[in-house]
Amino acid sequence: MPRSIERALPGVFISLEGCDGSGKSTQLSRLSRKLGTAGLNPLVTREPGGTPFGERIRQLLLDPDSPDRSILSETLLYAAARCEFVSKIVRPALVQGRVVITERYADSTWVYQGYAGGVPLSTIETLNAIATGGLEPDLTLVLDIGRQEVVDERLASKRKDKIESRSDEYHQKVREGYRELAKRFPHRVVCIDGGLDVCVVEAMIWKEVVNILSKKGYDFTDEKRGRESL
C-alpha cells in the first residue's frame, strides 16, 4: 500500500462510516457547514455514487427491486464505482489541497461485504487497494451504534433499500464489523458513540477533525483558520 505517496497529497481526506441510521448524513452536513464557516470549502460526497456512473451503480446496488446477486458480484460492483469515484472526484480534489468528506468509502465494503457478508477480508483489501490506488482516508469516523433498536426507531418511516432489508443477524455483524475495523486500523479509525445526542456527536467529530487538520498544517488557533504551510 503506497501510503507514503498518498501522504504527499496536500488535501485532507475524511470518511464517515457506520450502519444505516447511525447519523452519517446528519453529521456530514453539520461538519460541512462548520468547515465552510472556517473558510475551508470542503468537497462533500458519498459512496457509492459521487459520479454519474457511480450513481447508476448505486441504483443497481441499493434499489429494493434490484435483482439478487452474489455477494462477490456486489463487491466487484462497489469496486468499480469506487475506482471511478477516486480517480474523478477524490484524488483531483486532494491534489488541489481541498478537504474531502465522504459518507462511506472502502471500509463500508470491508464491513458489509467482508466482515458481515463473508467475502474474505484479504480479497476485499486487495480489491480496495486496486480500486483506490492505495488511497486511504486520513481520518475515518465510525458512528458506533450498540443496539439495532436505536436504528429501527430512527428509520421506522424510511423505505428500506436492498441492503437495509437484510436480516437482523447481518446488521448485527455490520455493527460488530465496524468495531473490528477500528481495532485493525487504529492509526486512522476513531469510533464515536452514534447513540448520543446529535450536538454531542457533532462536537466529538469536530474535535477529531480539528486534530487531523492541525496535523496536516491548517492553523486552527485563530478565527481565520488559514492554511499555514501549504
Ligand X SMILES: Nc1ncnc2c1ncn2[C@@H]1O[C@H](COP(=O)(O)OP(=O)(O)O)[C@@H](O)[C@H]1O
Applying CB under 5 A, which residues contact Mg ion?
24-25
In the complex, what is the shortest distance from the CB of residue 13 to ligand X, in angstroms, rounded to a whole number?
A: 19
Interacting residues toward ligand X by CB under 6 A: 18, 20-26, 154, 196-198, 201
Q: How far is the CB of 202 from ligand X (least distance, A)?
A: 9
Judged by beta carbon, residue 136 or residue 202, the one nearer ligand X is 202
Query: Whose CB is nearest to Mg ion?
Result: 25
Contact 36, 42 (CB under 8 A): yes
Select from Mg ion, ligand X, none the partner in contact with residue 60, using the beta carbon and a kind-dependent cut-off of 5 to 8 Å. none
Q: How far is the CB of 25 from Mg ion (least distance, A)?
A: 3
For the chain, the three-class secondary structure string (H helix, E strand, C coil) is CCHHHHCCCCCEEEEEEECCCCCHHHHHHHHHHHHHHCCCCCEEEECCCCCHHHHHHHHHHHCCCCCCCCHHHHHHHHHHHHHHHHHHHHHHHHHCCCEEEEECCHHHHHHHHHHCCCCCHHHHHHHHHHHHCCCCCCEEEEEECCCHHHHHHHCCCCCCCCCCCCCHHHHHHHHHHHHHHHHHCCCCEEEEECCCCHHHHHHHHHHHHHHHHHHCCECCCCCCCCECCC
18 binds, among ligand X, Mg ion, none (CB under 5 to 8 A by kind): ligand X
- Indicate the residue among 25 and 70 with the shorter CB distance to Mg ion: 25
Binding partner of residue 23 among Mg ion, ligand X, none, CB cut-off 5 to 8 Å per kind: ligand X
CB of 150 to ligand X, least distance (A): 8
- Whole-number minimum distance, CB 108 to ligand X, in Å? 11
154: partner contacted, choices ligand X, Mg ion, none (Cβ within 5-8 A by kind): ligand X
Q: Closest CB to ligand X among 178 and 218?
A: 178
